[in-house]
Amino acid sequence: MPDLKARIEALLFASDQPLRFDRLLSLLEADTESLRNALQQLQHEYYHPGRGIVLQEVAGGFQLRTRPEYAPWVLKLTRSRALRLSRAATETLAVVAYRQPITRAEVEYLRGVDSGGVLRALMEKQLVRCVGKKDVPGRPLLYGTGQKFLELFGLKGLSDLPQLSEFAGDEDLALSMELDFDHAE
Amino acid sequence: MSYRIKLEQFEGPLDLLLHLVVKSEMDIYDIQIAQITAQYLDYLSLMKAHQLDVAGEFLVMAATLLHIKSRTLLPASPRDEENDEGVDPRAELVQRLLEYRRYKEGAEKLEAYPQLNRDVFIRPEQSMQEEGPSEAVPADLNDSPVSLFELVEALRRVLQDKPPPAPHTIISSPWSVEQGMRLLRRRLNGEEYVSFEQCFSGVTGRSEVIVVFIAMLELVKLGQLRLVQLNPQGTIYLYPQPELHSDRCVAALAPHSCEEL
Protein backbone atom coordinates (compact mmCIF):
# COMPACT_ATOMS: atom_id res chain seq x y z
CA MET A 1 0.00 0.00 0.00
CA PRO A 2 2.11 2.86 -1.25
CA ASP A 3 -0.13 5.67 0.01
CA LEU A 4 -0.42 4.36 3.57
CA LYS A 5 1.88 7.09 4.88
CA ALA A 6 -0.25 9.77 3.23
CA ARG A 7 -3.43 8.29 4.65
CA ILE A 8 -1.97 8.22 8.16
CA GLU A 9 -0.89 11.82 7.74
CA ALA A 10 -4.39 12.84 6.64
CA LEU A 11 -5.97 11.16 9.67
CA LEU A 12 -3.48 12.67 12.09
CA PHE A 13 -3.96 16.10 10.56
CA ALA A 14 -7.74 15.93 10.82
CA SER A 15 -7.91 14.49 14.32
CA ASP A 16 -8.16 16.75 17.38
CA GLN A 17 -6.91 14.05 19.73
CA PRO A 18 -4.14 11.46 19.78
CA LEU A 19 -5.01 8.44 17.61
CA ARG A 20 -4.22 5.08 19.13
CA PHE A 21 -2.35 2.47 17.13
CA ASP A 22 -5.23 -0.02 17.07
CA ARG A 23 -7.62 2.76 16.07
CA LEU A 24 -5.41 3.62 13.08
CA LEU A 25 -5.19 -0.07 12.33
CA SER A 26 -8.95 -0.51 12.09
CA LEU A 27 -9.53 2.79 10.26
CA LEU A 28 -6.88 2.14 7.62
CA GLU A 29 -7.44 -1.59 7.33
CA ALA A 30 -3.69 -2.06 7.26
CA ASP A 31 -1.60 -4.79 8.82
CA THR A 32 0.37 -4.18 12.00
CA GLU A 33 3.80 -4.44 10.42
CA SER A 34 3.27 -1.98 7.55
CA LEU A 35 1.44 0.50 9.79
CA ARG A 36 4.30 0.47 12.28
CA ASN A 37 6.84 0.99 9.48
CA ALA A 38 4.84 3.80 7.92
CA LEU A 39 4.45 5.57 11.27
CA GLN A 40 8.17 5.29 11.91
CA GLN A 41 9.00 6.68 8.47
CA LEU A 42 6.55 9.53 8.92
CA GLN A 43 7.92 10.31 12.37
CA HIS A 44 11.43 10.34 10.89
CA GLU A 45 10.41 12.68 8.08
CA TYR A 46 8.85 15.14 10.48
CA TYR A 47 11.83 14.96 12.76
CA HIS A 48 13.88 17.04 10.42
CA PRO A 49 15.16 20.57 10.77
CA GLY A 50 13.00 23.02 8.91
CA ARG A 51 9.70 21.38 9.81
CA GLY A 52 7.20 23.21 11.98
CA ILE A 53 5.46 20.14 13.37
CA VAL A 54 6.48 16.83 14.83
CA LEU A 55 4.71 13.49 15.02
CA GLN A 56 4.72 12.60 18.69
CA GLU A 57 3.57 9.64 20.74
CA VAL A 58 1.24 11.07 23.38
CA ALA A 59 -1.07 9.44 25.92
CA GLY A 60 -0.99 6.09 24.17
CA GLY A 61 -1.63 7.56 20.72
CA PHE A 62 -0.05 9.52 17.89
CA GLN A 63 -0.50 13.24 17.39
CA LEU A 64 0.85 16.06 15.25
CA ARG A 65 2.14 18.91 17.42
CA THR A 66 3.85 22.17 16.64
CA ARG A 67 7.48 22.55 17.62
CA PRO A 68 8.13 24.44 20.87
CA GLU A 69 10.38 27.00 19.16
CA TYR A 70 7.47 28.28 17.06
CA ALA A 71 5.20 28.92 20.08
CA PRO A 72 5.42 32.75 19.84
CA TRP A 73 3.98 32.71 16.31
CA VAL A 74 1.17 30.31 17.12
CA LEU A 75 0.27 32.37 20.17
CA LYS A 76 0.00 35.41 17.90
CA LEU A 77 -2.32 33.48 15.62
CA THR A 78 -4.67 32.34 18.38
CA ARG A 79 -4.33 35.71 20.18
CA SER A 80 -4.19 33.87 23.47
CA ARG A 81 -1.84 34.04 26.38
CA ALA A 82 0.23 30.97 27.08
CA LEU A 83 -1.46 28.76 29.62
CA ARG A 84 0.54 28.63 32.80
CA LEU A 85 0.12 26.42 35.81
CA SER A 86 0.95 27.97 39.16
CA ARG A 87 3.78 26.51 41.20
CA ALA A 88 1.30 25.10 43.68
CA ALA A 89 -0.65 23.47 40.84
CA THR A 90 2.46 21.92 39.26
CA GLU A 91 3.68 20.65 42.61
CA THR A 92 0.31 19.11 43.49
CA LEU A 93 0.06 17.61 40.03
CA ALA A 94 3.51 16.05 40.43
CA VAL A 95 2.63 14.54 43.81
CA VAL A 96 -0.61 13.08 42.40
CA ALA A 97 1.13 11.83 39.26
CA TYR A 98 3.92 10.02 41.10
CA ARG A 99 1.91 8.70 44.03
CA GLN A 100 -1.47 7.89 42.52
CA PRO A 101 -3.92 6.72 43.67
CA ILE A 102 -3.60 9.15 46.55
CA THR A 103 -5.99 10.80 49.01
CA ARG A 104 -6.16 14.52 49.70
CA ALA A 105 -4.78 13.99 53.23
CA GLU A 106 -1.74 12.20 51.80
CA VAL A 107 -1.14 14.99 49.28
CA GLU A 108 -1.32 17.52 52.10
CA TYR A 109 1.07 15.52 54.28
CA LEU A 110 3.62 15.36 51.46
CA ARG A 111 3.31 19.03 50.54
CA GLY A 112 2.84 20.33 54.07
CA VAL A 113 -0.01 22.64 52.99
CA ASP A 114 -3.76 22.58 52.47
CA SER A 115 -4.33 21.34 48.92
CA GLY A 116 -8.12 21.13 48.60
CA GLY A 117 -8.47 24.24 46.44
CA VAL A 118 -5.62 23.30 44.12
CA LEU A 119 -6.98 19.78 43.70
CA ARG A 120 -10.40 21.15 42.82
CA ALA A 121 -8.91 23.52 40.23
CA LEU A 122 -6.93 20.63 38.73
CA MET A 123 -10.10 18.52 38.61
CA GLU A 124 -11.88 21.31 36.77
CA LYS A 125 -9.10 21.35 34.19
CA GLN A 126 -9.54 17.54 34.03
CA LEU A 127 -5.85 17.04 34.80
CA VAL A 128 -6.75 15.18 37.98
CA ARG A 129 -9.73 12.92 38.48
CA CYS A 130 -11.31 10.73 41.11
CA VAL A 131 -10.31 7.14 40.61
CA GLY A 132 -11.96 5.50 43.60
CA LYS A 133 -12.27 5.48 47.36
CA LYS A 134 -9.68 4.31 49.81
CA ASP A 135 -10.69 1.40 52.01
CA VAL A 136 -10.02 3.14 55.32
CA PRO A 137 -12.42 4.76 57.81
CA GLY A 138 -14.22 7.68 56.16
CA ARG A 139 -13.64 6.18 52.69
CA PRO A 140 -11.73 9.25 51.37
CA LEU A 141 -11.62 9.85 47.62
CA LEU A 142 -8.55 8.70 45.75
CA TYR A 143 -7.12 10.98 43.10
CA GLY A 144 -5.15 10.14 39.98
CA THR A 145 -4.12 11.85 36.77
CA GLY A 146 -6.17 11.58 33.60
CA GLN A 147 -5.58 11.46 29.87
CA LYS A 148 -5.42 15.27 29.76
CA PHE A 149 -2.40 15.26 32.08
CA LEU A 150 -0.41 13.09 29.66
CA GLU A 151 -1.50 15.30 26.78
CA LEU A 152 -0.49 18.47 28.63
CA PHE A 153 3.10 17.35 29.13
CA GLY A 154 3.33 15.26 25.96
CA LEU A 155 3.95 12.02 27.83
CA LYS A 156 3.48 8.57 26.30
CA GLY A 157 2.28 7.19 29.59
CA LEU A 158 2.93 7.39 33.31
CA SER A 159 6.16 5.43 32.89
CA ASP A 160 7.36 8.38 30.83
CA LEU A 161 7.38 10.73 33.87
CA PRO A 162 10.74 12.29 34.73
CA GLN A 163 12.81 10.07 37.01
CA LEU A 164 12.79 11.06 40.67
CA SER A 165 16.00 11.09 42.69
CA GLU A 166 16.20 8.11 45.01
CA PHE A 167 17.02 8.16 48.66
CA ALA A 168 17.43 5.54 51.34
CA GLY A 169 14.53 4.71 53.62
CA ASP A 170 11.78 5.28 51.09
CA GLU A 171 9.83 2.22 52.20
CA ASP A 172 10.22 3.20 55.83
CA LEU A 173 8.59 6.49 55.08
CA ALA A 174 5.63 4.90 53.35
CA LEU A 175 5.16 2.82 56.48
CA SER A 176 5.46 5.73 58.87
CA MET A 177 2.96 7.67 56.78
CA GLU A 178 0.39 4.93 57.10
CA LEU A 179 0.90 4.87 60.85
CA ASP A 180 0.49 8.61 60.99
CA PHE A 181 -2.84 8.47 59.27
CA ASP A 182 -4.05 5.77 61.61
CA HIS A 183 -3.42 8.17 64.45
CA ALA A 184 -5.03 11.09 62.67
CA GLU A 185 -8.25 9.33 61.90
CA MET B 1 9.76 57.09 53.38
CA SER B 2 8.68 53.55 53.02
CA TYR B 3 10.51 50.86 51.20
CA ARG B 4 9.56 47.39 50.22
CA ILE B 5 11.35 44.15 50.72
CA LYS B 6 10.51 41.36 48.36
CA LEU B 7 10.00 38.12 50.21
CA GLU B 8 10.51 34.92 48.38
CA GLN B 9 7.35 32.97 47.91
CA PHE B 10 7.22 29.60 49.57
CA GLU B 11 4.72 26.91 48.82
CA GLY B 12 4.53 25.93 52.47
CA PRO B 13 6.49 25.25 55.64
CA LEU B 14 8.39 22.33 54.08
CA ASP B 15 9.43 24.52 51.17
CA LEU B 16 10.63 27.26 53.53
CA LEU B 17 12.47 24.78 55.73
CA LEU B 18 14.18 23.21 52.75
CA HIS B 19 15.24 26.65 51.55
CA LEU B 20 16.72 27.48 54.98
CA VAL B 21 18.61 24.17 55.16
CA VAL B 22 20.08 24.65 51.69
CA LYS B 23 20.91 28.30 52.35
CA SER B 24 22.86 27.52 55.53
CA GLU B 25 24.64 24.67 53.70
CA MET B 26 23.55 22.12 56.24
CA ASP B 27 23.56 18.39 55.70
CA ILE B 28 19.92 17.48 55.37
CA TYR B 29 20.55 14.30 57.37
CA ASP B 30 22.12 16.28 60.21
CA ILE B 31 20.03 19.41 60.64
CA GLN B 32 21.15 21.82 63.37
CA ILE B 33 17.74 22.11 64.96
CA ALA B 34 18.49 25.11 67.21
CA GLN B 35 19.89 27.15 64.32
CA ILE B 36 17.17 26.20 61.86
CA THR B 37 14.41 26.86 64.39
CA ALA B 38 15.77 30.35 65.05
CA GLN B 39 15.93 31.11 61.32
CA TYR B 40 12.46 29.73 60.78
CA LEU B 41 10.96 31.86 63.56
CA ASP B 42 12.81 34.92 62.24
CA TYR B 43 11.22 34.38 58.88
CA LEU B 44 7.75 34.08 60.41
CA SER B 45 8.17 37.37 62.27
CA LEU B 46 9.39 38.94 59.03
CA MET B 47 6.19 37.75 57.36
CA LYS B 48 4.13 39.21 60.20
CA ALA B 49 6.05 42.50 60.06
CA HIS B 50 5.03 42.78 56.41
CA GLN B 51 1.41 42.18 57.30
CA LEU B 52 1.38 38.87 55.50
CA ASP B 53 -1.08 36.37 56.78
CA VAL B 54 0.87 33.53 58.23
CA ALA B 55 -0.98 30.38 57.31
CA GLY B 56 -1.70 27.90 60.06
CA GLU B 57 0.59 25.28 58.54
CA PHE B 58 3.60 27.54 59.13
CA LEU B 59 2.70 27.78 62.82
CA VAL B 60 2.25 24.03 63.13
CA MET B 61 5.74 23.56 61.71
CA ALA B 62 7.11 26.16 64.16
CA ALA B 63 5.58 24.16 67.02
CA THR B 64 7.03 20.93 65.62
CA LEU B 65 10.49 22.49 65.39
CA LEU B 66 10.32 23.76 68.97
CA HIS B 67 9.12 20.36 70.13
CA ILE B 68 12.04 18.62 68.42
CA LYS B 69 14.44 21.20 69.82
CA SER B 70 13.20 20.62 73.37
CA ARG B 71 13.50 16.86 72.93
CA THR B 72 17.09 17.13 71.72
CA LEU B 73 17.93 19.27 74.76
CA LEU B 74 16.47 16.88 77.32
CA PRO B 75 18.38 13.76 78.26
CA ALA B 76 16.50 10.71 77.07
CA SER B 77 14.67 9.04 79.92
CA PRO B 78 15.50 5.38 80.43
CA ARG B 79 11.94 4.44 79.57
CA ASP B 80 12.16 6.23 76.23
CA GLU B 81 15.33 4.43 75.40
CA GLU B 82 13.64 1.11 76.01
CA ASN B 83 10.70 1.98 73.80
CA ASP B 84 12.24 3.82 70.89
CA GLU B 85 15.80 2.54 71.10
CA GLY B 86 16.97 6.12 71.00
CA VAL B 87 15.19 7.25 67.82
CA ASP B 88 16.47 10.62 66.62
CA PRO B 89 13.64 13.13 67.22
CA ARG B 90 14.55 14.74 63.89
CA ALA B 91 14.08 11.54 61.89
CA GLU B 92 10.48 12.09 60.80
CA LEU B 93 11.12 15.70 59.80
CA VAL B 94 14.17 14.71 57.75
CA GLN B 95 12.15 12.04 55.96
CA ARG B 96 9.41 14.52 55.15
CA LEU B 97 11.93 17.05 53.86
CA LEU B 98 13.64 14.46 51.66
CA GLU B 99 10.32 13.26 50.31
CA TYR B 100 9.17 16.82 49.68
CA ARG B 101 12.42 17.62 47.88
CA ARG B 102 11.88 14.67 45.54
CA TYR B 103 8.45 15.86 44.47
CA LYS B 104 9.59 19.46 44.22
CA GLU B 105 12.31 18.34 41.85
CA GLY B 106 9.82 16.18 39.97
CA ALA B 107 7.55 19.22 39.59
CA GLU B 108 10.46 21.34 38.35
CA LYS B 109 11.38 18.71 35.76
CA LEU B 110 7.77 18.50 34.59
CA GLU B 111 7.60 22.27 34.43
CA ALA B 112 10.54 22.22 31.99
CA TYR B 113 8.72 19.83 29.62
CA PRO B 114 7.08 21.40 26.56
CA GLN B 115 3.52 22.10 27.65
CA LEU B 116 0.42 21.95 25.52
CA ASN B 117 -0.98 25.42 24.75
CA ARG B 118 2.14 27.03 26.19
CA ASP B 119 4.98 25.63 24.06
CA VAL B 120 3.31 23.23 21.69
CA PHE B 121 -0.05 23.34 19.98
CA ILE B 122 -2.43 20.93 18.38
CA ARG B 123 -5.48 21.19 16.19
CA PRO B 124 -8.22 22.83 18.30
CA GLU B 125 -11.14 20.70 19.38
CA GLN B 126 -13.71 20.25 16.67
CA SER B 127 -17.43 20.20 17.21
CA MET B 128 -18.13 17.43 14.77
CA GLN B 129 -21.17 15.49 15.83
CA GLU B 130 -20.19 12.08 17.05
CA GLU B 131 -22.30 9.57 15.19
CA GLY B 132 -22.09 6.80 17.72
CA PRO B 133 -19.66 4.42 19.33
CA SER B 134 -16.64 4.64 17.06
CA GLU B 135 -15.67 1.07 17.64
CA ALA B 136 -17.65 -2.10 17.34
CA VAL B 137 -19.80 -2.64 20.40
CA PRO B 138 -18.91 -5.85 22.18
CA ALA B 139 -21.61 -8.48 21.96
CA ASP B 140 -21.73 -8.77 25.72
CA LEU B 141 -22.49 -5.36 27.18
CA ASN B 142 -21.25 -6.57 30.55
CA ASP B 143 -17.73 -6.28 29.19
CA SER B 144 -17.81 -2.47 29.24
CA PRO B 145 -19.31 -1.35 32.51
CA VAL B 146 -19.33 2.34 33.44
CA SER B 147 -17.63 3.28 36.69
CA LEU B 148 -19.41 5.55 39.15
CA PHE B 149 -16.76 8.23 38.76
CA GLU B 150 -17.01 8.27 34.97
CA LEU B 151 -20.77 8.65 35.29
CA VAL B 152 -20.46 11.55 37.73
CA GLU B 153 -17.87 13.17 35.44
CA ALA B 154 -20.26 12.92 32.46
CA LEU B 155 -23.05 14.51 34.53
CA ARG B 156 -20.70 17.31 35.56
CA ARG B 157 -19.92 18.04 31.89
CA VAL B 158 -23.62 18.28 31.03
CA LEU B 159 -24.29 20.55 34.03
CA GLN B 160 -21.36 22.79 33.08
CA ASP B 161 -23.26 24.15 30.08
CA LYS B 162 -26.46 24.84 32.03
CA PRO B 163 -27.07 28.23 33.65
CA PRO B 164 -26.48 28.26 37.41
CA PRO B 165 -29.63 28.53 39.50
CA ALA B 166 -30.70 32.11 40.16
CA PRO B 167 -29.80 33.23 43.69
CA HIS B 168 -32.46 33.74 46.37
CA THR B 169 -35.04 31.72 44.54
CA ILE B 170 -36.55 28.58 45.87
CA ILE B 171 -37.01 26.35 42.90
CA SER B 172 -39.59 23.66 43.02
CA SER B 173 -38.66 21.14 40.44
CA PRO B 174 -41.23 21.33 37.71
CA TRP B 175 -40.51 17.76 36.70
CA SER B 176 -41.00 14.51 38.48
CA VAL B 177 -38.72 11.50 38.10
CA GLU B 178 -41.58 9.71 36.31
CA GLN B 179 -41.63 12.49 33.74
CA GLY B 180 -37.89 12.19 33.39
CA MET B 181 -38.30 8.48 32.75
CA ARG B 182 -40.95 9.17 30.13
CA LEU B 183 -38.66 11.66 28.43
CA LEU B 184 -35.88 9.07 28.32
CA ARG B 185 -38.28 6.38 27.04
CA ARG B 186 -39.35 8.68 24.24
CA ARG B 187 -35.73 9.56 23.37
CA LEU B 188 -34.72 5.92 23.31
CA ASN B 189 -37.77 4.73 21.38
CA GLY B 190 -36.65 2.85 18.29
CA GLU B 191 -32.99 3.68 18.88
CA GLU B 192 -30.27 1.10 19.28
CA TYR B 193 -28.33 3.46 21.51
CA VAL B 194 -28.24 7.13 22.52
CA SER B 195 -25.23 9.02 23.89
CA PHE B 196 -25.28 10.36 27.44
CA GLU B 197 -25.05 13.96 26.22
CA GLN B 198 -27.86 13.50 23.69
CA CYS B 199 -30.26 12.58 26.50
CA PHE B 200 -29.86 16.05 27.89
CA SER B 201 -30.18 18.05 24.69
CA GLY B 202 -33.15 20.37 25.00
CA VAL B 203 -33.15 19.97 28.79
CA THR B 204 -32.50 23.53 29.85
CA GLY B 205 -32.36 23.84 33.64
CA ARG B 206 -29.93 22.29 36.10
CA SER B 207 -32.69 20.79 38.23
CA GLU B 208 -34.26 19.23 35.13
CA VAL B 209 -30.89 17.71 34.21
CA ILE B 210 -30.68 16.20 37.68
CA VAL B 211 -34.24 14.81 37.43
CA VAL B 212 -33.43 13.18 34.10
CA PHE B 213 -30.19 11.80 35.58
CA ILE B 214 -32.05 10.27 38.52
CA ALA B 215 -34.59 8.84 36.07
CA MET B 216 -31.70 7.31 34.14
CA LEU B 217 -30.33 5.66 37.28
CA GLU B 218 -33.83 4.43 38.11
CA LEU B 219 -34.20 2.79 34.68
CA VAL B 220 -30.79 1.15 35.09
CA LYS B 221 -31.88 -0.15 38.47
CA LEU B 222 -35.06 -1.57 36.96
CA GLY B 223 -32.90 -3.33 34.37
CA GLN B 224 -34.57 -1.47 31.49
CA LEU B 225 -31.46 0.42 30.50
CA ARG B 226 -27.77 -0.34 30.16
CA LEU B 227 -24.91 2.15 30.37
CA VAL B 228 -21.87 1.35 28.28
CA GLN B 229 -18.51 3.07 27.98
CA LEU B 230 -15.99 1.70 25.50
CA ASN B 231 -12.97 3.89 26.25
CA PRO B 232 -11.83 5.22 29.56
CA GLN B 233 -13.12 8.81 29.70
CA GLY B 234 -14.95 8.24 26.41
CA THR B 235 -18.60 8.87 25.66
CA ILE B 236 -21.13 6.94 27.74
CA TYR B 237 -23.93 5.32 25.76
CA LEU B 238 -27.40 4.27 26.83
CA TYR B 239 -28.66 0.96 25.47
CA PRO B 240 -32.39 0.39 25.95
CA GLN B 241 -33.27 -3.13 27.03
CA PRO B 242 -36.35 -4.97 25.70
CA GLU B 243 -38.18 -4.34 29.01
CA LEU B 244 -38.02 -0.56 28.52
CA HIS B 245 -40.98 -0.19 26.20
CA SER B 246 -43.10 -3.05 27.45
CA ASP B 247 -43.20 -1.61 30.95
CA ARG B 248 -45.99 0.91 31.11
CA CYS B 249 -46.99 0.73 34.75
CA VAL B 250 -44.54 3.40 35.90
CA ALA B 251 -45.68 5.86 33.27
CA ALA B 252 -49.27 5.30 34.35
CA LEU B 253 -48.36 6.59 37.81
CA ALA B 254 -47.78 10.07 36.44
CA PRO B 255 -50.93 11.24 34.73
CA HIS B 256 -49.65 14.79 34.26
CA SER B 257 -48.92 15.75 30.76
CA CYS B 258 -45.35 16.47 29.88
CA GLU B 259 -45.98 17.65 26.38
CA GLU B 260 -43.80 20.66 27.00
CA LEU B 261 -40.73 18.43 27.06
Mean pLDDT of all residues in chain B? 78
pLDDT attached to residue A177: 45
- pLDDT band per the 50, 70, 90 thresholds, residue B249: very low
B96: chain A residues, CB-CB within 8 Å: 109-110, 112
pLDDT attached to residue B259: 42
B247: which DSSP letter? -
Which CATH number does the domain housing residue B219 bear? 1.10.10.580
3-state secondary structure of A177: helix
Structural domain spans, chain A:
4-78, 87-184
pLDDT attached to residue B234: 76
Asked if the structure places residue B195 within a domain, the reply is yes
Q: Which residue type is seen at A46? A: Y
Is the CATH number 1.10.10.10 carried by domain A4-78? yes
- Same domain for B147 and B248, yes or no, is yes
Q: Which residue has the higher pLDDT, B160 or B26?
A: B26
Contacts 24+ apart (CB under 8 A), A30-34: A30/A1, A30/A4, A34/A1, A34/A4
| Number of domains forming the structure of chain B | 2
- Scanning B52-71 for CB atoms below 8 A from A yields 55, 57, 61
pLDDT attached to residue B79: 62
Q: Which of A9, A16, A141, A150 to mutate to test the interface with B (most CBs of B within 10 A)?
A: A16
Instruction: Evaluate if residue A183 carries a pLDDT over 50.
Output: no
pLDDT attached to residue B142: 64
Lowest mean pLDDT among B69-73, B100-104, B133-137, B220-224: B133-137
Interface contact flag, A110 B99, Cβ < 8 Å: yes
- pLDDT band per the 50, 70, 90 thresholds, residue B173: low
pLDDT attached to residue A181: 44
Each residue of B174-213: b (16+ CB within 10 Å) or e? ebebbbbbbbbbebbeeeeebbbebbbeebeeeebbbbbb
Sign of the torsion angle spanned by Cα atoms B118, B123, B129, B130: negative
A167: chain B residues, CB-CB within 8 Å: 98, 102
Lowest mean pLDDT among A13-27, A49-63, A122-136, B114-128: B114-128
B153: chain A residues, CB-CB within 8 Å: 129-130
- Same domain for B46 and B84, yes or no, is yes
A93: chain B residues, CB-CB within 8 Å: 107, 110
Domain span at B89 = 13-112
Asked if the structure places residue B122 within a domain, the reply is no
Nearest-Cα distance to chain B for A156, in Å, is 13
B92/A contact by beta carbon, under 8 A:
yes
Number of Cβ within 10 Å of residue B121's Cβ equals 22
Interface contact flag, A16 B124, Cβ < 8 Å: yes
Interface contact flag, B11 A87, Cβ < 8 Å: yes
Alpha-carbon distance of B121 to A74, in angstroms, equals 8
Instruction: Evaluate if residue B85 carries a pLDDT over 60.
Output: no
pLDDT attached to residue B186: 87
The span from the first CA to the last CA of chain B, in angstroms, equals: 69
Lowest mean pLDDT among A87-96, B125-134, B145-154, B251-260: B251-260
- Same domain for B98 and B150, yes or no, is no
B213: which DSSP letter? H
Report which of A104, A112, A158 is spatially closest to residue A134, judged by C-alpha positions.
Answer: A104
Number of Cβ within 10 Å of residue B97's Cβ equals 20
Asked if the structure places residue B131 within a domain, the reply is no
pLDDT attached to residue A170: 46
A118: chain B residues, CB-CB within 8 Å: none
Strand blocks (E) in chain B: 194-195, 225-229, 236-240
Each residue of A49-74: b (16+ CB within 10 Å) or e? eeeebbbbbbbebbbbbbbeeebeeb
A81: which DSSP letter? P
- pLDDT band per the 50, 70, 90 thresholds, residue B225: confident
pLDDT attached to residue B128: 56
Sign of the torsion angle spanned by Cα atoms B16, B20, B25, B27: negative
Query: Are A2 and A53 spatial neighbours (Cβ–Cβ below 8 Å)?
Result: no
- pLDDT band per the 50, 70, 90 thresholds, residue A96: very high
Interface contact flag, B123 A130, Cβ < 8 Å: no
- For chain B, helix, strand, coil in percent to 5 are 50, 5, 45
Q: Which residue has the higher pLDDT, B243 or A160?
A: A160
CATH class held by domain A87-184: mainly alpha
